[in-house]
Structure 1
Amino acid sequence: MATTPTQAAAPEVDPQHLEAVRKKYAEEAQKRLRPDAVAQFLTLKDANDPRLQALNEDPWADHDALNARPSPIEDSKVYPFFVVGAGFGGLLFAVHAIQSGVATADDIRLVDAAGGFGGTWYWNRYPGLHCDVESYMYLPLLEETGYIPTKKYAPGWEIREHAERIADQWHLQDKTVFRSDVESVTWDDSSELWNISFKERRGPQGSPIISHHVRAQYVYLAAGILTRPQVPRISGLSSFAGPMFHTARWDYGITGGSQKNQVLSGLRDKRVAVIGTAATAIGAIPEIGKYAKELFVFQRTPAYVKPRNQRDTNREDFKATVATKPGWQFDRQINWNSFLTNSAKTGQPDLVSDGWTDQPAYSAMMGSPNQAELDPNSPESIERLVTGFHILDLPNMEAVRSRVDQSVKDPKTAEKLKPWYPSWCKRPTFSDTYLPLFNEPHVHLIDTDGKGPSHATERGLVVGDKEYPVDIIVLSTGFQLANLRAGSPASRIGVKVLGRNGYSLDDKWDNIGAATLHGYLTNGFPNLFFSGSSQATITGNNTMMLNFIAQHVTYMISEAKRRAGTKKRAIIEVTREAEEAHTAEIVKRAPYFSAIAGCTPGYFNGYGAVAADLEGKKKAARGATWSEGTRSFLKYIGDWREEGKLRGLDVTLRSALDAERARL
């Protein structure tokens, strides 16, 4: 029987109750609004305080082994492909370039600040770390590698090992320079090549640094966003006398144990403070609570916590019900995504059936093809849209809050743990152990009523006028995600990018706002590509998104190179007309995301930063995602590929570089 697109039916809700809940949401959001917005945080890398800066040190790099390897880089050489980032984004681009035939492994060089592959999974090794998306969907290239994850939600070490597996299978281990910070990527108008400067660290802080300069035909910016840890600007934080570390640089030397053996015996006689209650903390806090003498959880905003329902993978069942045919992984991803975008077809089975797929109002942030007619200039039209999302969301969030009451015995503690915001304001978290932990007498919830700790002392942390003495502080305070959609691709990864005539990519975004074709390339920056969700789509499953970005970009390059033949090289640049036409498609759909503006401050809404003037609002709209959901976006760019014309791209053919010129 044919299926048709549908959407979840709006539930029956009491209008007065809905109004009361929305009032509560607005009050809780207002408590957390701060004029400094994202400036309330400081990235460890940029800290002037030596102690805070030292917390950014890589605890995982095997410097002796890395120093003993032959360098993959030959300075001044021209490389066909240069990739900034060796997490899943960089790896997937390299794999698709190899599989499409546009490159061999020898043509590619990857550079990463970490000491190994994996991106955020390299840095994050805290206890309790698991993927919050089903691993059968999240771990990329399972069909190609033949790997079967051990659990429905894979632990962090397994995901990191899978990144290494991909690098091994496609021969990228000796093509990657680790411990390196790319400083600048500059277009040379005369040679029509990119000049790249980066610094390679040869050991811990204070060790020798080697400067490298190479050139490349194509550059792909794939560095992830969950790699630059930040801390709130808490007065006196460095004065704390005890050990302190960030969850993204977990110190097992202090806690005991290791990522694979999470017996935190070093905490048995310790009072531990954890600052933060977002996704990382939801994983780490229950593990700390098993061993600490006392645990103090400093909460500014409660997480919304849903059941995890973890289980081991039965390999035979996996082959019989999951990996049933070629292309199963993408089919599973799209099936899952359709429920997040409130666009599952009538009668469509929910293949994953987890805590993501039962919240259709999450489409307020993800986008959906099921959009009512919206007049962006009509406040009444916008209000109807937002109210519709709240009606759709109320049963889900009521269930989340009810679960707190069922899990936590003390009513006052339970009330403080309830999330008073709609589902689309925060990424959901999943745990079967976090909420019951607060029934334990040695675990203390320190709710700061939306403010965070007042200051730190030599002995501990202060909230209001009360000091909480502790022995160890764990900073579960996230990553620099400022201007996630409004910032340029260069600012998101902290690299200076200069295009034609020395024009800065940051300046282009500052002057006019986002301007791309499909979200992945921009005029004035030939042969430069980047990943991201701005002017593109967001999936909820990052590796799914990174995979189809890599496929799309590889298509552009392969088609241009096909036209160039073996005796030419292709210079690919989107035209201004094409990027403005695409931007117009984004802008006209942007009002769909109006519900995000009223959210509790967080990284989805720039911690409450709102453009004050009309020009700023216009720029913000240009940085929105495709509001009709992932399936619609994939059709949009798929139709573009089907045309076979590279419409909107200016492809200039130049003489091929010979080996001698490549070394000049």
Structure 2
Amino acid sequence: MAAAPSEEDLKVYALSQKYTEEATKRLRPELDDQFVNLKDAGEPRVRALSDDLWADHAALNARELVKDGSRYKFVILGGGLGGQLLAVRLIEAGLVKGAGDLLIIDIAGGFGGTWYWNRYPGLHCDVESYTYMPLLEETGYVPKFKYAPGYEILEHAERIATQWNLNDKALFRSKITAATWGEEKSLWSLDVIESRGPGEEERKLKIQADYFISANGILAVPQAPRVDGLASFAGQMFHTARWDYSITGGSQENPQLTGLEGKRVGILGTGATAIQSVPHLAKFAKELYVFQRTPSAVYERGQRPTDLEKWESKIAYKKGWQKERMENFALYCCGAPTDQPNMVDDEWTKLPGLRGQTGTPLFDLIQPTPEGIGAHIARLLKWNIPCGEKAHARVDAIVKDPETAAKLKAWYPVWCKRPTYNDEYLPTFNLPNVHLIDTDGKGVDSATERGLVVAGKEYPLDVLVLGTGFRSPLEGNGCPSVKMGVKIHGRGGRSFEEKWNTQGATTLYGTATSGFPNLFFMSPIQNGTAANWLHSCSVWTDNIVATIAKAESRVGDGSRPVVEVTVAGEEGWAGVMMQHAAAFAALSGCTPGYGNASGAFGGMPKDQAEMLKAARMAIWSFGIVSFTKLLEDYRAEGSLQGVEVTPVAA
């Protein structure tokens, strides 16, 4: 006779039913098509919301032009922190010697990536600055706070650019539209469009590169929901990724939003951006309406200034401290056994449910059977119970109105949406001028000239803020070329996108693929990942640079290498990744969001072939520290197994 279910088992069952109910009510048949990328919007007014507000066009136009037809050893797509880290590691490895060896291309008007674009009030990194901000050990910089504000991170990006002389190696306001491998010269030919600012004619360039490497991040293209009538709204409107201080007043450093005084302000969206910006909007708006489809789980942040004595004695006190601290943070996030103390000791490290997203070495490979997957999901849900209860209890303890508190509670596992950390957001809903407009998962009905309509009721607004996030990194089945926005053609003119869609995810260690020589990219798919994006980037960067350096050392004078993944190498790695896929089966039942392409990866595959293709999109399930050890062992072995190096004339 089977044992009666325990109280915990009954709680898990009830929660799974509630999670499924909440996810289902938010699932739309149009999936990611319910959003439009601002830059691709049909209405000029909406399309203009993606314009760069920060570029100093006069200063950039005064710089020496990158010449049409120029050739570089390395072209990096992306001038964010990941791209900068990659450039620095190439320089440190001795692979960049002359001025013509490196070019960084970015559509922004300067370095910083997401920290260049996002300048909204209240912006802070959600990961501890000591582990997130790259190259702290090399620059000697001491972050001012445990969680750095956005403007401090942007200043750090500029610091990195200055220390490694990257400013004269960058082409800003530019996008690569196509990349084609030339068999005859064994070079990449890149089609580039450089914007020159308002009233100036664009320049179209052809640039050649020995190596083409993408480091363009995962959340880079702002989007808006396809709300009927949005362009007709007569008030002022902007997206949080292009915060317009000419409308609100103030600045990122001094968020005195006096331009909102006496105005009715609406913010659409309650993700991480709204969690940080809503408290500032509430201080100045006459009335603030927060339009919510899905609430965020909001945990304590515990911000505090950096203790300089502790910094010198316990944090930055030895060589290699930052790598050790990053790995310590990752170990605690994924529940890995360790005898080290919890160095970061924040809420991230105390949410066992995160293991459903980061993986964990606490279990072996999950068997891809109904029984194996069912038992695994049940275990994850048990780990998630204290995470959900902690977030809900915090809402009840802070928000005074029970009805509002109930609507602010997130009903999905912590691995489904990135948790948020803030000490000001929840208390904001106790203010008399702040109104939560919960849409019960449906979103707003429409927009009018006067405001937004929810459940048939119009809410008049003077200012509308779109906190509606970014294009999903899984758009195009997670294809790296789609994420780059670049049409890539390799050997024989084969399209990267066509290969990916035909074969499924196909890489060696998530950063290169056969048929596309000297092309490297940063993607979480078929890789190891961490809650700290810059930790992931550092691991991927080290492997890319080490692979190139090893290949360069194999060719003699007068030659250069063509580095290409073998078919056997990438298929072997795809097979390994398929063994890890079942560990992430719980993601399929998540509330729609950018992490599952609005639910596109939530249904069961139609047939076995589709199921096998989907399994190839897995990540390493034992955590990034384990993955790092795998790569370090691979590099120490030294043969570059799975990679072919062919010398060609320099």
Question: Aligned match of 2:113 in 110, 113, 119?
Answer: 119
Note the 1:417-436 alignment, pairs <5 A: 417-436=408-427
Q: How many residues align?
A: 641
Question: Aligned match of 2:17 in 3, 10, 23?
Answer: 23
Superposed CA deviations along residues 60-93 of structure 1, whole A, max 9, x for unmatched, are 001111111112x222122111111111121111
Task: Report the Cα distance in structure 2 between the residues aligned to 1:412 and 1:577, rounded to whole angstroms.
Answer: 58
Superposed CA deviations along residues 254-298 of structure 1, whole A, max 9, x for unmatched, are 000111111000011111000000001101111101111000000
Name the counterpart of 1:174. Answer: 168
Is the deviation greater in 378-387 or in 438-447?
378-387
Deviation at 1:223, TM superposition (A): 1.2
**Aligned residue type for 1:495:** V
**Aligned residue type for 2:501:** D
Task: Report the Cα distance in structure 2 between the residues aligned to 1:278 and 1:613, rounded to whole angstroms.
Answer: 35
Name the counterpart of 1:580. Answer: 571
Classify 1:134/1:52 alpha carbon distance in 2 versus 1 (closer, same or farther; 3 Å). Answer: same
> Do 1:91 and 1:166's aligned partners in 2 also have CA atoms closer than 8 Å?
yes
Superposed CA deviations along residues 470-494 of structure 1, whole A, max 9, x for unmatched, are 1110000000015269321110121
Could you tell me the percent identity over the aligned residues? 50
Name the counterpart of 1:223. Answer: 216
Name the counterpart of 2:403. Answer: 412
> Do 1:105 and 1:171's aligned partners in 2 also have CA atoms closer than 8 Å?
no
Note the 1:93-132 alignment, pairs <5 A: 93-104=86-97, 106=99, 107-132=101-126
| Unpaired stretches in structure 1, ≥5 consecutive residues | 1-11, 657-664
Question: Aligned match of 2:620 in 599, 605, 626?
Answer: 626
> Do 1:92 and 1:550's aligned partners in 2 also have CA atoms closer than 8 Å?
yes
Note the 1:50-199 alignment, pairs <5 A: 50-71=44-65, 73-104=66-97, 106=99, 107-199=101-193
Task: Report the Cα distance in structure 2 between the residues aligned to 1:225 and 1:563, rounded to whole angstroms.
Answer: 33
> Does the alignment pair 1:639 with 2:633?
yes
Task: Report the Cα distance in structure 2 between the residues aligned to 1:469 and 1:262, rounded to whole angstroms.
Answer: 25
> Do 1:335 and 1:344's aligned partners in 2 also have CA atoms closer than 8 Å?
no
Deviation at 1:249, TM superposition (A): 0.4
Note the 1:303-322 alignment, pairs <5 A: 303-322=296-315
> Does the alignment pair 1:522 with 2:513?
yes
Note the 1:477-516 alignment, pairs <5 A: 477-483=468-474, 486-516=477-507
> Do 1:535 and 1:625's aligned partners in 2 also have CA atoms closer than 8 Å?
yes
Deviation at 1:304, TM superposition (A): 0.2
Name the counterpart of 1:41. Answer: 35
> Do 1:485 and 1:534's aligned partners in 2 also have CA atoms closer than 8 Å?
no
Superposed CA deviations along residues 86-122 of structure 1, whole A, max 9, x for unmatched, are 1112111110011011112621001100000000100
Counterpart secondary structure, 1:55: helix
Is the deviation greater in 336-345 or in 449-458?
336-345
Task: Report the Cα distance in structure 2 between the residues aligned to 1:373 and 1:546, rounded to whole angstroms.
Answer: 25
Name the counterpart of 1:297. Answer: 290
Question: Aligned match of 1:603 in 570, 578, 594?
Answer: 594
Note the 1:261-276 alignment, pairs <5 A: 261-276=254-269
Superposed CA deviations along residues 576-614 of structure 1, whole A, max 9, x for unmatched, are 000000010000110110111111111222211134343
Superposed CA deviations along residues 401-451 of structure 1, whole A, max 9, x for unmatched, are 011000100000000000011110110101101001101110000000001
Classify 1:105/1:538 alpha carbon distance in 2 versus 1 (closer, same or farther; 3 Å). Answer: farther
Counterpart secondary structure, 2:203: strand
**Aligned residue type for 2:217:** G
**Aligned residue type for 1:116:** G
**Aligned residue type for 1:221:** S
Superposed CA deviations along residues 346-370 of structure 1, whole A, max 9, x for unmatched, are x431100111000122111111122
Counterpart secondary structure, 2:73: strand
**Aligned residue type for 2:649:** S
Note the 1:263-412 alignment, pairs <5 A: 263-345=256-338, 347-372=339-364, 374-376=366-368, 378-412=369-403
Superposed CA deviations along residues 228-269 of structure 1, whole A, max 9, x for unmatched, are 100011111011000000000000000001111110000111
> Do 2:473 and 2:595's aligned partners in 1 also have CA atoms closer than 8 Å?
no
Task: Report the Cα distance in structure 2 between the residues aligned to 1:123 and 1:415, rounded to whole angstroms.
Answer: 34
Task: Report the Cα distance in structure 2 between the residues aligned to 1:110 and 1:367, rounded to whole angstroms.
Answer: 33
Classify 1:128/1:13 alpha carbon distance in 2 versus 1 (closer, same or farther; 3 Å). Answer: farther
Superposed CA deviations along residues 363-417 of structure 1, whole A, max 9, x for unmatched, are 11111122246321x2122111000011111012101101100010000000000
Task: Report the Cα distance in structure 2 between the residues aligned to 1:373 and 1:187, rounded to whole angstroms.
Answer: 38
Task: Report the Cα distance in structure 2 between the residues aligned to 1:190 and 1:655, rounded to whole angstroms.
Answer: 11
Counterpart secondary structure, 1:558: helix
Deviation at 1:143, TM superposition (A): 0.4
Counterpart secondary structure, 1:310: coil
Deviation at 1:157, TM superposition (A): 0.5
Task: Report the Cα distance in structure 2 between the residues aligned to 1:437 and 1:608, rounded to whole angstroms.
Answer: 31
> Do 2:268 and 2:467's aligned partners in 1 also have CA atoms closer than 8 Å?
yes
**Aligned residue type for 1:200:** E
> Do 2:78 and 2:214's aligned partners in 1 also have CA atoms closer than 8 Å?
yes
Counterpart secondary structure, 2:349: coil
> Does the alignment pair 1:567 with 2:558?
yes
Classify 1:625/1:96 alpha carbon distance in 2 versus 1 (closer, same or farther; 3 Å). Answer: same
**Aligned residue type for 2:389:** E
> Do 2:35 and 2:225's aligned partners in 1 also have CA atoms closer than 8 Å?
yes
> Does the alignment pair 1:209 with 2:194?
no
> Do 1:485 and 1:533's aligned partners in 2 also have CA atoms closer than 8 Å?
no
Task: Report the Cα distance in structure 2 between the residues aligned to 1:120 and 1:105, rounded to whole angstroms.
Answer: 29
**Aligned residue type for 1:602:** G
Note the 1:444-459 alignment, pairs <5 A: 444-459=435-450
Classify 1:469/1:612 alpha carbon distance in 2 versus 1 (closer, same or farther; 3 Å). Answer: farther
**Aligned residue type for 1:185:** A
> Do 1:485 and 1:623's aligned partners in 2 also have CA atoms closer than 8 Å?
no
